[in-house]
A and B are shown apart, each in its own frame.
Chain A
Amino acid sequence: MEHKTDYIYDKNGKLIYKFDTKVQYIKYKVLREVAREAWAGTLFENVLDIPKMIVPGKEPTMRCCVYKERAILGERVKIAMGGDKNNPNVIEVIETACDECPMGGYEVTNACRGCLAHRCMDACRKGAISFDHNQKAHIDKSKCVECGLCAKSCPYTAIMNFKRPCVSACKVNAISMNEDKAAKIDNDKCISCGACVYQCPFGAITDKSFIINVIDMIQKSEQNKKYKVYALVAPAIGSQYAYAKLGQVISGIKELGFYTVIEAALGADMVAWMESKELTECGDFLTSSCCPAFVDYIHKSFPDMVEHISHNLSPAGTIARYIKSTDPDAKIVFIGPCTAKKMEFQKEEVRPYIDSVITFEELQALFDSKDIDIRDLEEDLLENASYFGRIFARSGGLADAVQQALKEQKLDDFELKAVSCDGIEACKMALLKKSKGALDANFIEGMACVGGCIGGAGCLTHGEKNKAEVDKYGKEAIEKTIAEAISLVKLPEEQHS
């Protein structure tokens, strides 16, 4: 029998799941096999065999038959190899995997007992609910606005919302269905946050992978002799790979062939420093520019607010630019929780600095493709950033860091009124209010994922405890102030590259 998901034991013998769901696990297996072939230089010979390698038997474990399973795996292999080159979005639908879930909205189910109370009718403000001769409720779709109050009021929970999980997950309304009832993504609205990727129970929406580019980059560096390949890790790493120590993850990354590992959080320290200054200079109002999905959202849905986006590159872009000022031939790979970063690095202003992006999920696949068990490795070090740079990984951290940077630069006469928006819905609310002049704030910290980066779709695991883990990792930093952390690097205005 196949396990619910892939698990592993930590050094105390505690069982820990590598992933939250089996969807992630199957995606990981494909990435791992693709990577294995890529390292060996046999990908193009063996690419067609990968689906059968993953589903070898005759008994289906996921779908109606092994043939459908393999057909879908074939699509997953393509996406693991970079996906549809004609689609600029990194988030892609696998139409054959889409189960065409019902999407009728709120409906009364058989659980309706035809009671006397009719709370559903009282709850409905649109008069959309009526009753048949058996006293069973019916919803008039022409009146229903999908508010859900009826469902909440029913004591038998007899009213259900038949909304597709992808559609529910997509708070920017970018998902509809095509003629064949499969999910369809509107690239003009999609911000590539990956919420649908994580939420689709069939794994039918997924993020394109650049792992084979990264493997190629590492191999062509000839052990970092021709050029050096730097790994830039997002601070959310503090909450990941719970089965091993962070230092072992760093060793694992170097074992893969990276020259060294640097904290993107040092870029966050730099950004906090510059952004707080920018805020006092502009005076009235600024939004953060750290979260690429949030920035994309402003461009797509609030174009009038674009001028208020901070001019800083994201932390990853900022530190990558500095690294390239010290080593112009460097290749830089960002490793993080974020699918939107896979869009960001292709943007004109970031492309010179970041060469590729992979997720924590993909890093796990890379480890296993080389049979690297990070639990067996010595602990290496990761020590570049301050506490404040590191807590950028969770909602509220950026605003805390900006406040701290104001204090450290003795700019605290300036009253920071920050609103930390946790998730794209909260971002939308704040931006709407601001555009109507109804938000008492001069700074919006926008994070598209709930919880901040630790809620990113590319994380292996998600959960409440991840915030505490990031805070703990933050407190372990030897540099206690932003000024100390950035004293080692030159800010962009001082760089002459």
Chain B
Amino acid sequence: MEIKTDRQYSESHEWVLFENDTTATIGVTDFAQSELGDLVFVNLPQVGDTVTAGTPFADVESVKAVSDVYCPVSGTVSAVNEELLTAPQRINENAYDAWFIKVEKITDQKPLMDAEAYRTHTQA
């Protein structure tokens, strides 16, 4: 299982890559995609939507189940990776390239972990 050191992680298995203090890109981790199995549908928010730290902003459906994806930050959606809507397998292929949304005007965030702490979290 791959964990990248260039970004931060939430307890609910999302990754956050900050461009600066108020702008970040968000996706789900390699651990999350491997637990979910082959993904078949993704629902994403729209540009301009408000997202709130700790609440769902997207959902993913695998052959096994539908799961919420929680937003690690509060802010406004500035971009959406629409490719995932038609090709959810990109998340299985490379979870760290297959970003979900970009968020700007970030005002708040959940407690985040670095790669090492996240590795410990997934082994717990």
Q: Do A and B come from one complex?
A: no
What is B's interface to A at a CB cutoff of 8 Å? none
Chain A residues packing against B (C-beta within 8 Å): none
